[in-house]
């Protein structure tokens, strides 16, 4: 049974908008119609489907899909009723298939590749299979960050640290991790403000330090302004603000505007303290070293980006030290 990618019975969970052509449908993590308001480099990352799932209910025994081939695509994962079933690499291919799915009706989630533009041409189910829309009633979590939230080198889409946390806590994830592009853009603050949410988190600093895009004069106030924009429509939502994880060469070495990561963590902490002092009781500071600190620096092959095991460690630590104890 062939299914068009724009079939109303499919939910593109975690997508902000969809781009539709007569040949394919693609998820965007910014409003596609407003793309001219965002920086070109951010758009390149926003066109990648990190955290996006195509979800539906069906009694099918197989799911296959056809898509536009690209050499930079990572994997697609399949889960049934929340249980991981399998993963298929997509680089250089134009179709995937999962066979021998559990019997009976189930919620099927296709976790799309976190890296590369995924343009779906069609899905196929078993002949005569049922197909109904899945309405996700789980709490919504929006998280914003850099490549360390985008997680290109994760083992697969369900093994990014935001996916590990979302699956571990039963959350409906929207991942706004944009590799190299977490610079506290006001348009991203407005986007988060306007999306439905139950929990919010941002991880800020590493792109700002690497690109020297904000200075000691503007970084703290940039965080405060970003949070205050979001608070216009989410005034009491639990909001975690996380500072950078470990990056040994950047801990003490200043960048072009005199910022190192130790200084940045203090600035993030001070921004949260200022917000709390002015009445925000639901904003929480998270030290990035709690999530991936010096004891796990060996999981950073380039001393900046975690490897697959590093992202798993981040997921476990965020679950154990943040989500389970003081946030979700």
Predicted confidence at residue 11, as pLDDT, reads 98
pLDDT tier for residue 325 given thresholds of 50, 70 and 90: confident
pTM over 0.85: yes
- Residue 132 domain flag: no
Is 202 found in the same domain as 113? Answer: no
Predicted confidence at residue 328, as pLDDT, reads 73
Phi-psi region of 51 (alpha: psi -120 to 50; beta: other; left: phi over 0): left
H/E run at residue 97: strand 95-98
Are the C-beta atoms of residues 62 and 98 closer than 8 Å to each other? yes
* Tens of pLDDT, residues 118-166: 999 999 999 999 999 999 999 999 999 999 999 999 999 999 999 999 9
Is 200 found in the same domain as 231? Answer: yes
For residues 323 and 135, what is the distance between their CA atoms, to the nearest angstrom? Answer: 24
For residues 34 and 43, what is the distance between their CA atoms, to the nearest angstrom? Answer: 11
Q: What is the CATH number of the domain that holds 317?
A: 3.40.50.1110
Q: What angle do CA 147, 198, 113 make, to 5 degrees?
A: 35
Residue whose entry in the numeric block shows the structure tokens 């902490």:
269
Predicted confidence at residue 324, as pLDDT, reads 81
Mean pLDDT of all residues belonging to the chain: 98
Q: What is the CATH number of the domain that holds 52?
A: 2.60.120.260
For residues 225 and 282, what is the distance between their CA atoms, to the nearest angstrom? Answer: 16
Predicted confidence at residue 219, as pLDDT, reads 99
- Domain range for residue 317? 140-326
* Tens of pLDDT, residues 260-293: 999 999 999 999 999 999 999 999 999 999 999 9
Is 304 found in the same domain as 265? Answer: yes
Is 155 found in the same domain as 100? Answer: no
| pLDDT > 70 in the chain, percent | 100
The phi and psi torsions of 32 (rounded to 5 degrees) equal -60, -40
* Tens of pLDDT, residues 53-93: 999 999 999 999 999 999 999 999 999 999 999 999 999 99
Which ranges in 107-160 belong to alpha helices (H)? 147-150
Predicted confidence at residue 125, as pLDDT, reads 99
- Residue 242 domain flag: yes
Predicted confidence at residue 30, as pLDDT, reads 99
Predicted confidence at residue 148, as pLDDT, reads 98
H/E run at residue 276: helix 261-277
pLDDT at 12 over 80: yes
């Amino acid at each position: 049974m062939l299914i068009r990618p724009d079939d109303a019975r499919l939910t593109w969970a975690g997508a902000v908008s969809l781009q539709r052509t007569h040949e394919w449908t693609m998820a965007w993590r910014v409003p596609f119609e407003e793309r001219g308001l965002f920086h070109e480099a951010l758009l390149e990352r926003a066109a990648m489907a990190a955290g996006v799932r195509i979800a539906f209910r069906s009694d099918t025994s197989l799911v296959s899909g056809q898509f536009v081939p690209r050499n930079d695509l990572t994997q697609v994962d399949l889960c049934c009723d929340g249980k991981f079933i399998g993963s298929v690499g997509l680089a250089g291919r134009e179709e995937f298939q999962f066979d021998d799915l559990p019997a009976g009706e189930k919620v099927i989630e296709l976790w799309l590749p976190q890296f590369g533009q995924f343009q779906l041409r069609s899905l196929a189910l078993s002949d005569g299979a049922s197909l109904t829309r899945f309405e996700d009633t789980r709490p919504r979590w929006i998280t914003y960050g850099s490549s360390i939230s985008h997680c290109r080198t994760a083992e697969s889409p369900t093994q990014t640290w935001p996916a590990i946390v979302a699956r571990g806590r039963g959350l409906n994830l929207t991942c706004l991790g944009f590799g190299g592009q977490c610079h506290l853009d006001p348009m991203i603050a407005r986007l988060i403000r306007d999306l439905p949410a139950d929990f919010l988190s941002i991880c800020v600093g590493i792109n700002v330090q690497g690109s020297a895009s904000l200075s000691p004069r503007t970084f703290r106030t940039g965080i405060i302004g970003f949070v205050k924009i979001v608070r216009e429509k989410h005034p009491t939502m639990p909001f975690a603000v996380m500072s950078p994880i470990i990056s040994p060469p950047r801990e003490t070495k200043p960048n072009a505007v005199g910022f190192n990561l130790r200084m940045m963590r203090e600035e993030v902490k001070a921004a949260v303290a200022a917000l709390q002092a002015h009445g925000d009781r639901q904003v929480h500071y998270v030290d990035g070293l709690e999530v991936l600190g010096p004891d796990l620096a060996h999981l950073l092959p380039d001393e900046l980006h975690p490897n697959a095991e590093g992202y798993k460690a981040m997921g476990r630590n965020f679950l154990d030290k943040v989500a389970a104890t003081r946030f979700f």
